[in-house]
Structure 1
Amino acid sequence: MPPERVISRLLLVEDDPSLGSALRRALEAAGHAVDWATRGEDGIALIEAEAYGVVLLDLGLPDVDGLEVIRAIRSLRHTARIIIITAQDRTSQRIRGLDAGADDYLVKPVDVDELAARVRAQLRRADRRATDLLTVRDIAIDLAGQTVALNGEPVAITAKEYKVLALLMRRAGQFITKSQIEAALYDNERLIESNTVEVAVSSLRRKLGREAIVTARGLGYMVAR
């Protein structure tokens, strides 16, 4: 079985360096930690070792057919949502990708705003929610606009604070471990700063109220309903 899914971390499998870099920047700007592989075999290895909410997959990879990558993901019983990103726009190719286990299909050239919207849509379906506007008690977060409000008034927060709050709000009523939060903050190329989560939670409590986030030793953090 794969590791427990990190609900906002993404895996991009794309061999074009310019496109891959642009997509990664856009998705990070949308609030996601993004791991990037340029070969299908490397993508499969990451999926075996890590856990992702969404996999963004080019079919025209230099070493392995993208359809084989999809089959490998599904053979692992991995619950990640898969969005195909490819220059192949034939209907038959789309059908093959969807039948292999993909959840969505996007043809190049890619509009980054549309891609971010499709990622949000897949995460909504994974969460079984109908909207990107989440409200718990007097706190509201808009996952599309990346804004936070308290009692209807906007609250200024940092990018890391937003990522932490978004993760906790998406799983309101459930404890999220420190390691899961760290995995949502950092991709596999960045060193994890030991106190990042504690600092972010402390700052969020100052801005939203101490009762906004509950801590339990051995369980982690939670936004209580």
Structure 2
Amino acid sequence: MKRWKLTARALLYRMKVGVTSFVLRILMRRIFGRMALRGLLPLITGPLYALWNALISYWIMRQARENALGPFAIDNLIARLEGPAKDLSDSAREAMLHGVGEMIMRHQDAHANHVYLLSRLLEVFDHETQALDVDWPRQARALAGLSECERCWLVETLSLAAVLVGPLRGRRQAFLEEVFDACGVAFDSRALGRLRRALMNGETPPSAMSGGA
């Protein structure tokens, strides 16, 4: 993520209480006038701050749950991949590694679950280094040469990567739709929703291509 975006996020978080109070004062002044402002503001700001902090707490707890349950889903995927990994071509392995790397870049944040997933894939593929210079455009052009089984593993791995760090949306969803289209697989948002719910419930994640069966 660009440095100015990181700075803006930090400033907005620290300004949340001040900005909320400022906006509330303007609204109340227009609605009730100056005389009512002093008496009503303390009665409203308390519940408003409580609601805002509850929302922040929900986001934090959701992230903590992702961080706690994500490795379970990742280890489950790796356990199923260890056997078939021996039969995957070098092109398939590279596509999976670079695909996860591209997902990290699309998310614009090195989330702990993504880092762990990439490290486990590097390990199971016996990659020569722990460094990876992501070049997804080159890998995307090679997807047509993968076997059907290899494309299925790519789709399943990137589907899990997409939901490991939050509800599927934005750049992550757009990238996943690109991958599904390139692999000739129908994009099923409901199956991905089930995958996300299974992850957050600590259940064995179903395949994004199986419809949860």
Calculate the TM-score normalised by the size of structure 1. Answer: 0.26
Calculate the TM-score normalised by the size of structure 2. Answer: 0.28
Say which structure is richer in helix.
Answer: 2
Greater Rg over alpha carbons, structure: 2
Say which structure is richer in strand.
Answer: 1
User: Higher relative CO (CA 8 A, sep ≥ 6), structure 1 or 2?
Assistant: 2
